[in-house]
């Protein structure tokens, strides 16, 4: 974060870092310019709270001034220790830099600096930027940053200050996020609007390879060669309350409870005059008609939403759909051409693996449609079309409401394809949409299981491992349930296609091992239902403790369930929207009972901007 304006920079920056901490929490640091040639820096490994304790120790009045910057780190180069924390300074201590991303040619730059006699104080790639700026600085900070950026390879956001220009902050952006907040007599820089939403909702999107200089009166944007650039202003359409816990113990629980609203907002406005409308997308109906194959690329939870979508899109459009991990996609030379539609799903719109997959697809002339929750992020900017999930800010590091919103958005894409290609009659498309529209109420109903599931979570908190089983759309739900438990409770968890169990994993079953089974509806897919009951019998016979998520009123399942969690009856393809809810709550509660920070699991960060 960067700030210059009429308030004490330290307060503004610390408040901003509090709101950005979900993006990285290995260490934190601040720098403030006093306007009289002084630059004070404090940094501390660990959570922001450690930095605040350090500031109390040294006295906050040692960092006074109206210009400053701050950083929370997710470590890439160098362990999360004090000296690797940002901001970094040049050897004279007059320049301060914070950096996100990875400078890929840093070894060469570092060697060059060392050959010049510069002693580096940290193990990071980021520190090189401070020394490089010092080497070329000639009274114009923006010009110096531009020169340095032209030499840097990789992905980066840099924020830089110099004591000789105390009323300015200069920042640069390549493939890593950076937005400007425009206030009254103050200007902000941050990775995410959450950092300044308390002060202003007027924001400016920066593009690829751009440099911005902020002063209290405004901002100026150029490219890396100094050519002026017209940046795009936008209004943030949510307010501070959306980024606060609102009486909940942790953000994740609040976000789980916001799922009905997230779904409703994602669907709103997408059906008019009897047709699915994807108004934010720039693909013509003819483009959709020409599609002969769909790839869905994404990571983690977003990937699981894509796995769910595969079932629906294939069923509705009769197009082959492949869902692939973005980090694998471009390295295996996938078969892509003009008639391939690549759907890139990303909550943040910044995930480096997904961004690179998008770039690869576009190089191969495929059309790319992004599904994204962050206005103006890099992935939608580089895609042919975008469909936003309007889930609001998601602060808990584990994705919840955006998972459900991604499924809904994927379904809109599937229905739009079916409509354009004529594989569904208009009344069928309308019926599917109406069923989707009924989902916020169904998810609200599913939230009625929260107390029961929290109690179960406490009971299971000492387990060594938990397995998750599902079939058809229940399979990706099982994978997602296992991912949530791994990332939050640090517990061994695996999701399996229930039919696959007998081909190996059944050997894992032992007495009292908890196994969560996501049941299909007995009415929707009777054959799947009976097969899954047989799979449960097989594990029960081997001593498993079964936790069964089943449709309300499904009595046949009762003898198979040591714990039965009932969710409302909904059409088969929509079941993931209700059956995921108890799995999210289960993971959060097990994590809480084990004493872990539900919102900030270890080793993770909300947005993964490195490959």
Q: Which stretch binds ligand F6R (CB under 6 A): 184-192, 344-352, 445-453, 459-467?
A: 344-352
Residue 300 within binding range of ligand F6R, rule CB under 6 A: yes
* Straight-line distance from the first to the last Cα atom of the chain, in angstroms, rounded to the nearest whole number: 23
Instruction: Assign residue 5 a region (left: φ > 0; alpha: ψ between -120 and 50; beta: otherwise).
Output: left
Least separation in angstroms between residue 160's CB and ligand F6R is: 27
Residues 270-299 that bind ligand F6R (CB under 6 A): 299
155 belongs to the binding site for ligand F6R (CB under 6 A): no
In this structure, are residues 255 and 392 in contact, taking their beta carbons and an 8 Å threshold? no
Binding of residue 346 to ligand F6R (CB under 6 A): yes
Smallest gap from Cβ 299 to ligand F6R, in A, equals 4
Question: Which ranges of 258-351 would DSSP assign to H, the alpha helix?
Answer: 259-267, 285-290, 300-317, 326-329
- Interface pick for ligand F6R out of 399, 420, 469, 583 (rule CB under 6 A): 399
d(CA 468, CA 452): 18
Q: Is 608 in the site for ligand F6R (CB under 6 A)?
A: yes
Under DSSP, the state recorded for 279 is T
Nearest to 313 by CA among 430, 429, 433, 411: 411
Give least dist CB 517 to ligand F6R, A. Answer: 22
Angle CA(438)–CA(444)–CA(446) in degrees, nearest 5?
105
Query: Could you tell me the two tokens for 145?
Result: 């940053």
Cα angle 468, 307, 299; round to 5: 90
Is residue 609 close enough to count as binding ligand F6R by CB under 6 A?
no
Q: Please state the φ and ψ torsions of residue 290, each to the nearest 5 degrees.
A: -75, -15
Give least dist CB 233 to ligand F6R, A: 24
Active site residue 245: no
Q: How far is the CB of 608 from ligand F6R (least distance, A)?
A: 5
Q: Looking at beta carbons only, is 43 or 304 nearer to ligand F6R?
A: 304
Give the neighbor-by-neighbor strand order of the sheet with 95-103. 88-89, 95-103, 154-162, 169-174, 210-215, 218-223
Q: Which of 44, 310, 484, 606 is catalytic?
A: 606
Quick one: 400 or 535, whose CB is closer to ligand F6R? 400
Q: Is 302 in the site for ligand F6R (CB under 6 A)?
A: yes
Q: Which of 27, 259, 351, 580 binds ligand F6R (CB under 6 A)?
A: 351
Among residues 85 and 607, whose Cβ is nearest to ligand F6R?
607
Q: Where are the beta strands (DSSP E) in 83-195?
A: 88-89, 95-103, 154-162, 169-174, 179-182, 186-190
Q: With binding defined as CB under 6 A, does residue 348 bind ligand F6R?
A: yes
Name the minimum Å distance from CB 483 to ligand F6R: 6
Contacts of ligand F6R in 432-491 (CB under 6 A): 483, 487
Element (H, E) at 452: helix 450-460
Nearer to ligand F6R, 168 or 592 (CB): 592
- Count of alpha carbons within 13 angstroms of residue 460, beta-carbon side: 32
Footprint on this chain of ligand F6R (rule: CB under 6 A): 299-302, 346-348, 351, 354, 398-399, 483, 487, 607-608
As annotated, the active-site residues are 606
């Amino acid at each position: 974060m960067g700030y210059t304006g009429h308030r004490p920079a330290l307060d503004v920056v610390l408040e901003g870092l509090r709101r950005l901490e979900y993006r990285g929490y290995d260490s934190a640091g601040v720098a403030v310019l006093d306007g009289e040639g002084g630059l004070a820096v404090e940094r501390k490994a660990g959570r922001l709270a450690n930095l605040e304790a350090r500031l109390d120790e040294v006295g906050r009045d040692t960092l006074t001034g109206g210009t400053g910057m701050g950083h929370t780190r997710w470590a890439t180069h160098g362990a999360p220790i004090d000296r690797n924390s940002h901001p970094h300074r040049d050897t004279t201590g007059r320049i301060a830099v914070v950096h996100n991303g990875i400078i890929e040619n840093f070894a060469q730059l570092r060697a060059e600096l060392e050959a010049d006699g510069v002693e580096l104080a940290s193990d990071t790639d980021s520190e090189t930027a401070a020394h490089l700026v010092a080497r070329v600085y000639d009274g114009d900070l923006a010009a110096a940053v531009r020169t340095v950026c032209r030499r840097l390879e990789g992905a980066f956001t840099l924020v830089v200050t110099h004591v000789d220009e105390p009323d300015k902050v200069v920042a640069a952006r390549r493939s890593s996020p950076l937005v400007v907040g425009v206030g009254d007599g103050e200007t902000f820089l941050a990775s995410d609007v959450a950092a300044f939403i308390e002060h202003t909702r007027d924001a400016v999107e920066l593009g690829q390879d751009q440099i911005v200089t902020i002063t209290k009166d405004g901002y100026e944007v150029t490219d890396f060669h100094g050519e002026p650039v017209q940046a795009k202003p936008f209004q943030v359409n949510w307010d501070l309350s959306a980024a606060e816990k609102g009486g909940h113990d942790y953000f994740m629980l609040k976000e789980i409870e916001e799922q009905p609203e997230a779904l409703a907002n994602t669907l709103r406005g997408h059906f008019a005059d009897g047709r699915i409308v994807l108004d934010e997308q720039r693909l013509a109906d003819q483009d959709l008609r020409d599609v002969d194959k769909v790839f869905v690329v994404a990571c983690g939870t977003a990937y699981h939403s894509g796995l769910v979508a595969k079932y629906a899109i294939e069923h509705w459009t009769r197009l082959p759909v492949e869902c692939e991990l973005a980090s694998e996609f471009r390295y295996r030379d996938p078969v892509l051409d003009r008639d391939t539609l690549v759907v890139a799903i990303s909550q943040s719109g910044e995930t480096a693996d997904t961004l690179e997959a998008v770039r690869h697809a576009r190089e191969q002339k495929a059309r790319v449609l992004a599904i994204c929750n962050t206005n103006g992020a890099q992935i939608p900017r580089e895609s042919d079309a975008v469909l936003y999930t309007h889930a609001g800010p998601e602060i808990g590091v584990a994705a919840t409401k955006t998972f459900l919103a991604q499924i809904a958005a994927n379904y809109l894409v599937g229905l739009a394809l079916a409509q354009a290609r004529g594989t569904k009659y208009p009344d069928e498309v309308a019926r599917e949409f109406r069923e989707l529209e009924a989902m916020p109420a169904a998810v609200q109903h599913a939230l009625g299981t929260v107390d029961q599931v929290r109690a179960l979570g406490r009971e299971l908190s000492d387990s060594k491992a938990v397995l998750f089983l599902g079939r058809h759309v229940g399979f990706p739900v099982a994978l997602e349930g296992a991912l949530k438990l791994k990332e939050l409770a640090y517990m061994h968890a695996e999701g399996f296609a229930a039919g696959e169990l007998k081909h190996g994993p059944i050997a894992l079953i032992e007495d009292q091992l908890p196994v969560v089974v996501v049941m299909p509806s007995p009415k929707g897919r009777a054959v799947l239902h009976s097969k899954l009951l047989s799979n449960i019998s097989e594990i029960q016979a081997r001593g498993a403790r079964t936790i069964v998520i089943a449709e309300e009123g499904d009595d046949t399942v009762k003898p198979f369930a040591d714990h039965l969690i009932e969710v409302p009856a909904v059409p088969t393809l929509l079941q993931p929207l209700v059956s995921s809810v108890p799995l999210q709550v289960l993971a959060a509660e097990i994590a809480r009972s084990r004493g872990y920070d539900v919102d900030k699991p270890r080793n993770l960060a909300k947005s993964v901007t490195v490959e």
